[in-house]
Amino acid sequence: MKISVQAVVLSGGAGTRLWPFSREAYPKQFLPLVGDKSLFQETIYRVISMGAQEGQLELLSPLVVCNEMHRFIVAEQLRQMGLDRSAILLEPIGKNTAPAVTLAALYALEDECDPVLVVLPSDHHVENVAEFQARMSKAVELAAKGDIVTFGIVAQKPETGFGYIRRGADIEQGVFVLDGFTEKPDAKTAADYLASGRYFWNSGIFIMRAGIWLDQISRCQPAIFDSCKAALSASKRDGDFIRVDKDAFAQCPSDSIDYAVMEKLNTAAEEGPRGVVLALDAGWSDLGSWPALSEVKPADDSGNVAIGDVFLKDTRNSLLYSQNRFLATVGIEDVVVIETTDAVLVAHKDRAQDVKSITEYLKKANRSEHVFHAKVHRPWGDYESIDNGSRYQVKRLTIKPGATLSLQMHHHRAEHWIVVKGTARVTRGEDTFLLTENESTYIPLGIRHRLENPGTIPLEIIEVQSGSYLGEDDIVRFEDRYHRLES
């Protein structure tokens, strides 16, 4: 009999240590940092492609748990993979991993099926996909029989940036009783862990039947189970998304999978499921810092990873990444230099973990560079700021074929639109008309308006805004195809 398997992808991280590439509105899991696919897409692909090798598995559509800010990015990247019928659960508030998995398990059981859930962080990289899938097949087999399984990453060095898993007795080759979790250690403790041979890096990957997880969470943390059940029961379908009830979910305690359930399992399995850890040695990385990214990229003879328009002289063991401009270095070593349209990062590799302090500064200074890239993605396409000054701003808008912006108005700004490419359908007050390349129109302050792309190619618009306030929150929406409540 085939085993039903459902990937559950937890996509709530902000990836602040990979700033300026990773930002709150478009974090690292949605970026193609290693290959052509984003880390989010790679994560899903590693599970759904198992079907080609494992005939006894029935691969169900993935289930994604994410937040409001990222919902359209998730939907678009699933659509690119041909998975636009996948379920997307929206968490109104971040409550850590145990509530997220509980929501997913409750949703999975609504179809009167008890699948094996493969719970995965959305922002990891695995070099050896075949080995990962072979170990995953073993994990699914154990989970189908009632175990709750996690992967322990075979430690390559005494890493202080990861939590660790301690293994107990051998079950079979590479499979052990789970004996406990530990927090991120100091350098000496990490070295002791590595020398003992009994510790793995904590992967954050868990495999178990949906029903078994719900039995355990209701036993170990009944408040989480009750809040999640109430929140999902009162959820509402909103286009591609399932909106979990905010008031009910707000009552849910915040806890991780590790603490809420895994550490409370009976290791002897005399009662209830057994906690099991599988050793995984497949080139895993959490890509949690710039040095971690440089370790998975090919380096030159001097140990440098150079990407983009880069010139190096007397440079060693450095990561140089240029998105837009010519980047040159002379006489440096062990340095990270990252160039983007609106920000440049220069850091010593030994201090790369401190990049998070930059985003904390930007937040306190009420700036936007920790939230948005220069190019901001929207469900209808994207916009990019070209120039701005006192009382004016110039943007380049790209609208996807068939897409439309909301019917809206502004209290503080007027707009000029110039069509650079494609055909635009414009609503301005009571009038609706078409504009083609090199034609333009003016939208006065306070007038209802809408911009649509009725064509089959992307529509490119130059928008010139003028007024006393040009913030994105000066939008009053009257109709919106994408059910947005915020700007």
- The 10s digit of each residue's pLDDT in 161-175 is 889 999 999 999 999
pLDDT tier at 238 (50, 70, 90 boundaries)? confident
Identify the sign of the CA torsion 412, 417, 422, 425: positive
Averaged pLDDT score across all residues of the chain:
92
* pLDDT at position 483: 83
pLDDT in tens, 422-467: 999 999 999 999 999 999 999 999 999 999 999 999 999 999 999 9
Please give the share of the chain, as a percent, with pLDDT higher than 70: 97
Rg (C-alpha) for the chain, rounded Å, is 25
Whether 36 shows a pLDDT value over 50: the answer reads: yes
- The stretch 133-147 carries a mean pLDDT of 94
Structure tokens at 110: 């609504």
Please give the share of the chain, as a percent, with pLDDT higher than 90: 82
* pLDDT at position 270: 57
φ and ψ of 26, to 5 deg: -150, 75
Q: Environment class of residue 112 by beta-carbon count within 10 Å: exposed (0-12), middle (13-18) or buried (19+)?
A: exposed
- The stretch 28-57 carries a mean pLDDT of 87
pLDDT in tens, 75-120: 999 999 999 888 999 999 999 999 999 999 999 998 778 999 999 9
Cβ atoms of 459 and 418 within 8 Å: the answer is no
Q: Which positions ≥6 away from 360 have C-beta within 8 Å?
A: none
* pLDDT at position 267: 52
- The stretch 8-12 carries a mean pLDDT of 93
Rounded CA separation 349/141 (Å): 41
3-state per-residue secondary structure call for 447-487? CCEEEECCCCCCEEEEEEEEECCCCCCCCEEEECCCCCCCC
pLDDT in tens, 297-308: 999 999 999 999
Q: Are strands 236-238 and 344-348 parallel, antiparallel or unpaired?
A: unpaired
pLDDT in tens, 334-360: 999 999 999 999 999 999 889 999 999
Q: What domains are there in the chain, each with its CATH number?
A: 3-285 (3.90.550.10), 290-360 (no CATH), 375-479 (2.60.120.10)
Rounded CA separation 438/422 (Å): 10
C-alpha atoms less than 13 angstroms from C-alpha of 47 in its C-beta half-sphere: 28
* pLDDT at position 353: 85
